[in-house]
Structure 1
Amino acid sequence: MSAALSRLRAFLAAWPRVALVEVREAKGSTPREAGAWMLVSPGAIFGTIGGGQLEFMAIDRARDMIAAGAPAADILDVPLGPQIGQCCGGRMLVDVALAGEARRAAMLRRIEDEAASRPSVFIFGGGHVGHALAAALALLPLAVTIVETRADQIGDLPEGVEVRLTAVPEEVVRDAPPGSAFLVLTHDHALDFLIVAEALRRADAAYVGMIGSRTKRATFASWYLKEAGGGEGELSRLVCPIGGAEVKDKRPAVIAAMAAAEVMRGLSAS
């Protein structure tokens, strides 16, 4: 079960009366797109339609409907301008409806479907940066897996992050779904090179990144071109060092934040 599905089940179990708020239409500049949704209960919310005054209006309307037990759905047609204190400039149509058993079941199926279609990200190496990456990426709509050769390096991981223990991590690259992202940061440079070489052979990889320095990249490039049979075109897709060179801070959490942005950019472009 995905972390999102687990949280939704817990929310629905805690609140027997909820309303579904969903963006039907979004025109111009808006905080969220059509299809964005949230659930509202008398004392809590699950998800968001973008925040701001529009969301407050939708929450108030949903709670009024819950309190009244209103059977009918409602539609909010809201221009996002100065009159509501939200200056996006677009316009949104938002559906608000009580969520009975059928809608609850539909939302659970929706979360399951969304989880099944999430892009896959594989982190090779469970050290300090690997754990920081897992923590950063677990917050995003991704299927995150840490791949390690050493069981004692796994430790505590965020909810929803999967673990693959294997003596041959490059096989995980070969078996990964199309469009996957690969972040390579093991304890062994030679192992890094083998995994990265395998990832670069996948033309469908959305992102291939390796921790290190410009010197490490140069060493890998020489080996990859001369001994591994790789080409310049494949090599040009390698991001090394991960996280970019603009920020000099090498703390694991900072590297992870910068690399997570790179991964999302790669996935959105693929």
Structure 2
Amino acid sequence: MSLDLPALRAAVATQGAVVRILVVTVAGSVPREAGTSMLVWAGGEDGTIGGGELENQAIAEARAMLAEPAPAPRLRPIPLGPALGQCCGGSVTLAWERFDAATLPTALPYTRPLGGSATPRPALDPAPGTPPQVRDGWLVETAPAPGRPLWVWGAGHVGRAIVDVLAPWPGVAITWIDLGPDRYPDRVPAGVTRLPAAEPPALVRYAPTDADHLVLTRSHELDLQLCHALLRHGFASLGLIGSATKMARFRTKLAALGHTAAHISRIACPIGDPTLGKHPQAIAVGVAAALMRAAGAGDLRQERDATG
């Protein structure tokens, strides 16, 4: 994870001043990885660096900084066991930095001195998603790496549950398609791109060929058209809502449309984890877990019937 500049700007616009707590480096067993951050303001916070006493004390220090007129960024190594009595056994280095409208970063990578460093600014241009670096007293952060494209076809109960579960995860960039604007909930999670379309299969041509797809519409005929278009277009993975019976019928129909058995077998149907049940949130949790486990392979297939 790296600096989410839009989220930081939005927090400052809403709260006026915030302190960002950043996990700069880690060693041993720790609650969260380097690059994890959270925002703290006078009346609340957003995100987590792992909870427990580490986060409790880090938030207290952040709130103290909010009361100061122009505090310098702070950097501190913290051994979790000796300093806090936590059982993790590792250590973290945290940075605290106060932002308001006048001090927001204007571009990424974002480089700033820590502790009044007088050394020249380092010549670094790290790639997006690179963990934070400290060089000669300067802290350098990049933009987050782009999430893996995930196209969700359908805004019904299961589609909404999947989007709600996956939208906060930085590992995906969600595009959400349905037949019209009225098909979506009133509030769509931040970062999700809506694409209402009267003919959803016409949008398949615009999908990246390395995208994951979840076909979840209210119409079996539309599901079939989407699977047909996606098989012709290419994808990283394709999950279809339904049962083994539905997949058997689709297999026959897709074969009649000219698709080979090998290509059709790339469709994962049913999706999710059948042991969790068929509730929309249960399906969403199973799908999210499969995507996270795959970490690039995107195999959503389950051998047993998950959805009707």
Q: Distance in 1 between matches of 2:168 and 2:66?
A: 30
Q: Quote the residue 1:65 is aligned against.
A: 65
Task: Check the 8 A contact 1:123/1:182 in 2, yes or no.
Answer: yes
- Equivalent of 1:215 in 235, 240, 245: 245
From 157, 167, 173, the counterpart of 1:138: 167
Higher helix proportion (structure 1 or 2):
1
Deviation at 1:93, TM superposition (A): 0.9
Distance 2:278 2:207 in 1: 29
1:189 alignment partner in structure 2: 220
Which sections of structure 2, spanning at least 5 residues, go unmatched?
111-141, 299-308
> Would you say the 8 A contact 2:12–2:101 is kept in 1?
no
Contact residue 135 and residue 157 of structure 1 kept, 8 A: no
Out of 232, 256, 264, the residue aligned to residue 292 of structure 2 is 264
Say whether residues 1:126 and 2:148 are aligned partners.
no
- Distance in 2, Cα, partners of 1:269 & 1:118: 14
Change (3 A) 1:252 1:39: closer
Aligned-pair RMSD on alpha carbons?
Answer: 3.3
Distance 1:190 1:119, change over 3 A: same
Structure 2 Cα separation of the partners of residues 126 and 72 of structure 1 = 46
Contact kept? 2:17, 2:101, Cα under 8 Å: no
* Aligned counterparts of 2:42 and 2:185: Cα–Cα separation in 1: 38
1:61/1:180 Cα in 2 relative to 1: closer, same or farther (>3 Å)?
Answer: same
Q: Secondary structure at the match of 1:98?
A: strand
- CA shift for structure 1 position 211: 0.6
Query: What SS does structure 2 have at the residue aligned with 1:26?
Result: strand
User: Relative to structure 1, is the Cα distance of residues 108 and 17 closer, same or farther in structure 2, using a 3 angstrom cutoff?
Assistant: farther
SS at match of 1:212: coil
Which amino acid is the alignment partner of residue 159 of structure 2?
A: G
How far does residue 17 in structure 1 lie from its aligned partner after superposition?
3.7
Q: CA deviation at 1:109?
A: 8.8
- After the TM superposition, which of the residue ranges 100-109 and 161-170 deviates more from structure 2? 100-109
The verdict on how the C-alpha distance between 1:20 and 1:81 changes in structure 2, with shifts beyond 3 A counting, is same
TM-score, with length taken from structure 2 = 0.71
1:155 Cα shift?
4.6
Structure 1 residues 59 and 225: alpha-carbon distance in aligned structure 2, compared to 1, 3 A threshold = same
Q: Please report how far the alpha carbon of residue 8 of structure 1 lies from its aligned counterpart in structure 2 after TM superposition.
A: 4.1
How far apart are the structure 2 equivalents of 1:173 and 1:120?
Answer: 13
Q: CA deviation at 1:29?
A: 2.1
CA contact (8 A) 2:12 2:99 kept: no
**Residues in 2 aligned to 1:7 and 1:77: alpha-carbon distance in whole angstroms:** 26
After superposition, the Cα gap between the structure-2 partners of 1:209 and 1:19, relative to the gap in structure 1 and judged at 3 Å, is same
- Alignment check: 8 A CA contact 1:213 1:241 kept: yes
Q: Report the CA distance between 1:240 and its aligned residue.
A: 0.9
1:92–1:195 Cα change, 3 Å: same
Mapped partners of 1:152, 1:162: distance in 2: 15
Specify the code of the residue in structure 1 equivalent to 2:253. Answer: W
Give the % identical residues.
Answer: 39
Which SS does the other structure have where 1:59 is aligned? helix
1:243 aligns with 272
Q: Is structure 2 residue 86 aligned with structure 1 residue 93?
A: no
**Which residues in structure 2 correspond to 1:27-42 (within 5 Å)?**
27-42=27-42
